[in-house]
Chains A and B, each alone.
Chain A
Amino acid sequence: GENVEQHPSTLSVQEGDSAVIKCTYSDSASNYFPWYKQELGKRPQLIIDIRSNVGEKKDQRIAVTLNKTAKHFSLHITETQPEDSAVYFCAASSPSGGSYIPTFGRGTSLIVHP
């Protein structure tokens, strides 16, 4: 099955700095890579996603890059703000067997200091 590794587990930055979270996956058939933000005690919410036919996607201060050859993808947040503080999860979804079940990373706790 798919295995997703996520680093770092904790990331502390100053407001205005950039933050980068990296994930690797094992199943070369995976073709959908969503990123979720989960604030304390709340539900995970999709913030951006990318499919394997695209190398990069950007939405305002958030961008995701995908390197299919190396099987890794990254989340980039620029001009971080205190409200960006949350746990971020990456996931990789493989169509193998028709499942499309996402396998999640263990999460990165992002702390943005004012």
Chain B
Amino acid sequence: EAGVVQSPRYKIIEKKQPVAFWCNPISGHNTLYWYLQNLGQGPELLIRYENEEAVDDSQLPKDRFSAERLKGVDSTLKIQPAELGDSAVYLCASSLNKGSEQFFGPGTRLTVL
């Protein structure tokens, strides 16, 4: 069984540029999560999807961050415009449903110059 897939693995951009991350969850997993992980800290939830519905997005900075999961499978997280403080690892995770074990993707390491 393939795990959670994320791309790109690394991204370097200049501040004020847009950037997008893509996630393909494990097949059949209804719940998808986007996390932000700063160096030396645990993952912090940005947004959770139940199928195609976004729930628990209170930590998502909506002035610059957006996310979508149009068909309830793949998801995209976008930042526009990026700021220096957005440099971090963006992790995607999926689970069969809420409350069950989460499986993480390898993450996208974003560097904003």
A residues contacting B by CB (< 8 A) are 4, 6, 32, 34, 36, 42-46, 49, 89, 91, 93, 95, 98-102, 104-107
List B contacts of A102 (CB < 8 A). 45, 102
List B contacts of A6 (CB < 8 A). 42
A100 touches B44 (CB 8 A): no
**CB of B25 within 8 Å of the partner chain:** no
Q: Residues 67-107 of chain B: 1 if any A CB is under 8 Å from the residue's CB, otherwise 0?
A: 00000000000000000000000010000001101111111
Q: B106 touches which one: A36, A43, A89, A101 (CB < 8 A)?
A: A43
Distance between A25 CB and nearest chain B CB, rounded to angstroms = 13
Q: A43 touches which one: B40, B41, B101, B105 (CB < 8 A)?
A: B105
Closest to A32 in B: B99
Q: A44 touches which one: B44, B45, B104 (CB < 8 A)?
A: B104
Distance between A96 CB and nearest chain B CB, rounded to angstroms = 11
Known: A43-B91, A43-B106, A43-B107. A100 touches B40 (CB 8 A): no
List A contacts of B56 (CB < 8 A). 99, 101
B48 touches A101 (CB 8 A): yes
Given A32-B99, A99-B55, 19 new contacts (CB under 8 A): A34-B101, A43-B91, A43-B105, A43-B106, A44-B104, A45-B104, A46-B101, A49-B101, A93-B99, A95-B99, A98-B98, A99-B48, A99-B56, A99-B98, A100-B98, A101-B45, A101-B56, A104-B44, A106-B41
List A contacts of B44 (CB < 8 A). 104
In the complex, what distance in Å separates the CA atom of A95 from the CA atom of B55?
A: 14
List A contacts of B55 (CB < 8 A). 99
In the complex, what distance in Å separates the CA atom of A93 from the CA atom of B99?
A: 8
In the complex, what distance in Å separates the CA atom of A6 from the CA atom of B40?
A: 12
> Can you offer 14 A-B residue contacts whose CB atoms are under 8 A?
A32-B99, A34-B102, A36-B104, A43-B106, A46-B102, A46-B103, A49-B101, A91-B42, A95-B99, A98-B98, A99-B48, A101-B45, A104-B43, A107-B41
List A contacts of B103 (CB < 8 A). 46
Distance between B101 CB and nearest chain A CB, rounded to angstroms = 6
